[in-house]
């Protein structure tokens, strides 16, 4: 398995937002329902995901009754990644890729649907504990030799190890709501994509049926933190997760942010999944 440095030292592979100087101001942002100085959020988010890393995959299944798998399958099917006859293999960047759920699905799709055994995924994340779980998983797959998947610590707001105009596809699943500066991350996505490259985001969103939204809010705030406590002995991290979902912009607002970063969107630019519990947003760098 090829693992680009650094796994094992979250400070050596990429500068933090604080180090890059863009967040060392007195500005505040939200961390769940709390207001915190902008420069503190990255570390708080890192702590959450270090705390949940080992139980992350199991908890995803428990909390969503396995539905996150269907959403991820739908996301990958919509993107249909893979080399086309006569074309070049794809360079795919999976941002906030964590334990690699999206990356493995994309490689499986490219291999099984397009008979493409060359396209590659670079999985980046600020949290090397999550990446380590992904790396461990990769060793049990057909990608264990590391020629098609790499893991690297990177902050999505900078992507300082990813060259301009270098990627065919940028994916981010259930990651972007945790970023301190979402517009900066969208600009970084635009910078690293080739012209014609596709930005794709799968994220929790706003439920579009009133009664279902009421049930969903009850479930989110009363049951999920309790499950976090019982299954992962970590109520606080799961309380943050539900609060961060509630704070994320609506489908329309987020589509506007994608447009503002320079992407062309087609139609409304998004597709709701399960009545808007999650949504897929896409944009193209023209
Ligand atoms: C809910 S997990 C999603 C993991 C994976 N994409 C999936 O769908 O299973 C969110 C991930 O976002 C990462 N993350 C949060 N802020 C980030 C940032 N600024 N840059 C890169 N990754 C970040 C976290 O470390 C965590 O691994």
CA distance 65 to 53: 19
* pLDDT tens by residue, 162-195: 999 999 999 999 999 999 999 999 999 999 999 9
Residue 5: inside a domain: no
CA distance 152 to 224: 30
Which residue of 94, 126, 159, 228 sits with most ligand 1 atoms within 8 Å of its CB, as the best mutation to test the pocket?
126
Tokens of 109: 């799709």
- The protein residue with its alpha carbon nearest to ligand 1, atom 8, reads 173
Residue 122: inside a domain: yes
Residue 84: inside a domain: yes
Which residue of 125, 131, 137, 241 sits with most ligand 1 atoms within 8 Å of its CB, as the best mutation to test the pocket?
125
* pLDDT tens by residue, 51-105: 888 888 888 898 899 999 999 999 999 999 999 888 999 999 999 999 999 999 9
- The protein residue with its alpha carbon nearest to ligand 1, atom 15, reads 178
Say which DSSP state 65 is in: T
Tokens of 177: 């709501």
Residue 6: inside a domain: no
Contact 205, 164 (CB under 8 A): no
CATH number at residue 118: 3.40.50.150
Tokens of 38: 């902008």
Residue 241: inside a domain: yes
What torsion, rounded to 10 degrees, do the Cα atoms 31, 190, 283, 103 define? -70
What torsion, rounded to 10 degrees, do the Cα atoms 180, 181, 182, 188 define? -120
Which runs of consecutive H residues, i.e. helices, occur in the chain? 17-20, 38-52, 56-64, 67-79, 101-114, 128-138, 182-192, 210-218, 224-232, 235-247, 251-260
Ligand 1 atom, smallest distance to 101 CA = 9
How many structural domains are present in the chain?
Answer: 1
Binding-site residues: 99, 125, 155-156
Q: Is the pLDDT of residue 5 over 50?
A: no
Contact 97, 123 (CB under 8 A): yes
Given this model, what pLDDT does residue 106 score? 98
Would you call 127 helix, strand, or coil by DSSP? Answer: coil
Ligand 1 atom, smallest distance to 241 CA = 1
Instruction: Name the band, by pLDDT with cuts 50, 70 and 90, for residue 23.
Output: very low
Contact 89, 58 (CB under 8 A): no
Contact 275, 208 (CB under 8 A): yes
Instruction: Name the band, by pLDDT with cuts 50, 70 and 90, for residue 14.
Output: low
Contact 178, 96 (CB under 8 A): yes
Which positions ≥6 away from 34 have C-beta within 8 Å? none
Contact 203, 178 (CB under 8 A): no
Residue 184: inside a domain: yes
CA of 86 to the centre of ligand 1 (A): 34
Give the Å distances, CA to CA, from 198 to 54, 84, 130, 201, 284.
31, 16, 25, 10, 5
Instruction: Name the band, by pLDDT with cuts 50, 70 and 90, for residue 19.
Output: low
Query: What is the distance in angstroms between the CA of the first residue and the CA of the last residue of the chain?
Result: 35
Given this model, what pLDDT does residue 53 score? 86
Give the Å distances, CA to CA, from 19 to 31, 175, 197.
20, 21, 30
Residue 128: inside a domain: yes
CA distance 250 to 205: 6
Q: Is the pLDDT of residue 128 over 60?
A: yes
Residue 11: inside a domain: no
Given this model, what pLDDT does residue 170 score? 98
Binding-site residues for S-adenosyl-L-methionine: 99, 125, 155-156
Would you call 280 helix, strand, or coil by DSSP? Answer: strand
Quote the domain boundaries for residue 219: 17-284
Say which DSSP state 256 is in: H
Name the nearest CA neighbour of 202 among 242, 170, 236, 180: 170
């Amino acid at each position: 398995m090829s693992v680009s440095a650094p796994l094992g030292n979250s400070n050596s592979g990429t500068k933090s937002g604080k180090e890059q100087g863009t967040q060392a101001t007195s500005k505040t942002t939200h961390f769940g329902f709390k207001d915190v100085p902008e420069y503190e959020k990255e570390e708080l988010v890192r702590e959450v995901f270090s705390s949940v890393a080992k139980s992350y995959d199991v908890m995803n299944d428990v909390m969503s009754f396995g539905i996150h798998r269907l959403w991820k399958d739908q996301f990958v099917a919509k993107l249909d990644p893979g080399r086309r006859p006569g074309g070049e293999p794809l360079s795919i960047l999976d941002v906030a890729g964590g334990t690699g759920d999206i990356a493995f699905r994309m490689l499986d799709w490219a291999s099984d649907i397009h008979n493409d055994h060359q396209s590659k995924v670079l999985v980046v994340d600020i949290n090397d504990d999550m990446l380590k779980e992904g790396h461990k998983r990769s060793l049990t797959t057909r990608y264990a030799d590391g020629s098609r998947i790499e893991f690297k610590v990177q902050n999505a707001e900078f992507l300082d190890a990813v060259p301009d105009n270098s990627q065919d596809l940028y994916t981010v699943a259930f990651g972007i709501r945790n970023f301190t500066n979402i517009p900066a991350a969208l600009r970084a996505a635009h910078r690293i994509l080739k012209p014609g490259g596709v930005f794709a985001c799968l994220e929790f969103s706003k439920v579009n049926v009133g009664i279902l939204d009421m049930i969903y809010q009850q479930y989110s705030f009363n049951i999920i933190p309790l499950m976090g406590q019982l299954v992962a002995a970590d109520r606080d991290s799961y309380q943050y997760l539900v609060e961060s979902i509630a704070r994320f912009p609506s489908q329309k607002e987020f589509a506007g942010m994608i447009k503002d970063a320079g992407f062309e969107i087609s139609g409304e630019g998004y597709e709701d999944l399960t009545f808007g519990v999650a949504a897929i947003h896409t944009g193209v760098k023209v």
